[in-house]
Amino acid sequence: MSSENDNVIHGFSKRLALEREIEALAEASTAIELERRARALAGHGEQIVPVLIRHLGTDNAQIRGGLGLVARYLDRDLIVPALHRAAADPHLPGDARLTAVMILERYLDVEVEPALAQTLPDASEVARQSAEEALALAEKDPYTFYEYAEQLLAEPPEIVNAVLDVLVTIDDPRMAQLLMTIAGYAPEHVRQRLVQRIGTIRHPLALQALRTLAHLVPASQRADVQRQVRKLQMAGVTSGPAPVLRGLWSPMDAFGNHFLWFIQSQEDGQSVNLLMLLLHDTLGVQQAGAQADVPRHDAPTAAEVGHLHRLKVADISYHFHLVEMVPALALTLVDDAVQASIDAELPLPAALVTFGHWLWGSGEPDGAASWPDLPPPAESAQGTEFVDLFGHPAFATWLWTLPESEHSVLDEKPESVQIPGSPVHQRIAQALVADEAASTLARRCRSQALWLTLTGESRLAALALAAAHAFEHKVVDHPFVQTLAWRTLVAAVQEDAVPPDLRLLS
């Protein structure tokens, strides 16, 4: 009997411990901590399932989200049938059954059968509960809004509209950010509806959301968003003072890629927010990453406009070269890139939509800013100056794509083609001044000239403009064209012969 009693007591103690761990999900202060606790709970396997089911009726949105994470890490053969039984159990409270459905659909991608759905309480409560859970989780993980928007917009239009009917009735100012995120990816007719709704939320969060959204929509729709901004301002809604914003810009590689970093100061003066964008000159915003609350000493030191930062990033072999620039000009680069993404019908990265308020949420920068005047293209420059240009960080990575027609030649005679002026070398040079390549490279050389002008290196900027002129006029024997063709050839023949930084962004 004592052994049986010990087992009973041990089992009871274990259940109490698991109950406390479930309830402690509400205490997780970050998304990472919530994820860690959920994973640890899932490690209990079969024992955690009945405890999870007992907590489906919780009124704490963060615990509900945590239960979804626990379910995601459990064996599906264990948790899916248990949640199905809970959803179908008429003796369970309605909110518990709805949470079971929410976890099945949102976290486990399991579609609830129509017959079961008809036995559930009002489906609008599922939408409301899911949105409230997203609001709670987003306090610790802002990407929750993006995940919610992505899942919602993947549904058929009739479901999207039904859910939106519920969302627009939720009286919580934090809904402005969720609705803005949905609007950032939604079709135009849905976006218009959401913009109208955000404009009725008289709260600084709504003003911030609309200011951000105005820079994420096609130019043709920007006026509608800005109209709602003015309505809120006329109603007395204001935002606090704009944080100090810095812009840092990298040179462009031959393939059109360039980095743009933004550093936003925090009120405490000890930390900053960092938004890093990878832009392409025709495809727009390719990637984005955000880090909040970065210690100030870990960010590039504030410097005068024109200062060139040389940064070493952990686990990356090369250095970033970023010029400190006027923030207003940096923001115009983002606007152009967003429009390019829209024109190319490419979705904007989640980090830009989620953290775009760091850039735009406080309003437009004070005062007008203009780009510096470019120098005239260099005349009578020595050929060695153009060759040496490839030793500068602005051009150190420049290579071009080897024409398909030359691959077979390299396979047959890899040694003989590595001769300056060889027929292969000259054919590559001819390819560089062909119509499409020439116009592309000319445009990118002009971008380099602008970057070099910002750094104060006007002579090098003039050389870059002369190189652009050579591409525009198809000067195949120009030393810049010849050198770029040669570097492309060497890279194709023997990758190890190319310095590692030549492959940056290529």
Helix ranges (H only) for 24-60 are 31-42, 48-54
Write phi, then psi, for 218 (nearest 5 degrees). -55, 150
- Our separate counts of H helices and E strands in the chain read 23, 6
Of 195, 259, 260, 204, the C-alpha closest to 235 is 204
Q: Which of 210, 234, 258 is the last residue of a domain?
A: 234
Element (H, E) at 319: strand 319-325
Same domain, yes or no: 413 and 442: yes
Same domain, yes or no: 109 and 200: yes
Same domain, yes or no: 260 and 225: no
pTM across the whole model: 0.79
- Tell me, yes or no, whether 202 lies in a domain: yes
Same domain, yes or no: 281 and 144: no
Helix ranges (H only) for 455-478 are 458-472
- Angle at which helices 458-472 and 435-454 cross, to 10°: 170
For residue 271, give both structure tokens. Answer: 């930390």
- Tell me, yes or no, whether 495 lies in a domain: yes
Same domain, yes or no: 264 and 162: no
Looking at the structure of the chain, the number of domains it has is: 3
pLDDT in tens, 260-307: 999 999 888 889 999 999 999 999 999 999 999 999 999 999 999 999
Per-residue pLDDT at 412: 56
Alpha-carbon span 470 to 91, nearest angstrom: 79
Alpha-carbon span 48 to 68, nearest angstrom: 13
Check if the beta carbon of residue 231 is closer than 8 Å to that of residue 261.
no
Same domain, yes or no: 208 and 285: no
Q: Which of 200, 234, 268 is the last residue of a domain?
A: 234
Dihedral in degrees, nearest 10, Cα atoms 414, 419, 424, 426: 170
Please, which contacts does 168-173 make with residues 24 or more away whose CB atoms are closer than 8 Å?
168/193, 168/194, 168/197, 170/128, 170/131, 170/132, 172/132, 172/135, 173/201, 173/203, 173/205, 173/206
Same domain, yes or no: 117 and 208: yes
Parts of the chain with a pLDDT under 70: 1-14, 118-123, 314-317, 366-368, 406-419, 494-506
Per-residue pLDDT at 503: 32
Per-residue pLDDT at 497: 44
Per-residue pLDDT at 316: 64
For residue 135, give both structure tokens. Answer: 């609001």
Same domain, yes or no: 263 and 319: yes
Alpha-carbon span 205 to 223, nearest angstrom: 20
Q: Which of 234, 260, 283 is the last residue of a domain?
A: 234
- Tell me, yes or no, whether 36 lies in a domain: yes
- Tell me, yes or no, whether 369 lies in a domain: no
Same domain, yes or no: 227 and 251: no
Per-residue pLDDT at 432: 94
- Tell me, yes or no, whether 166 lies in a domain: yes
Residue burial 229-253, b: 16+ Cβ < 10 Å; e: rest: beebeeeebebeeeeebbbbbbbbb
For residue 225, give both structure tokens. Answer: 């968003």
Q: Domain residues for 160?
A: 2-234
Per-residue pLDDT at 6: 46
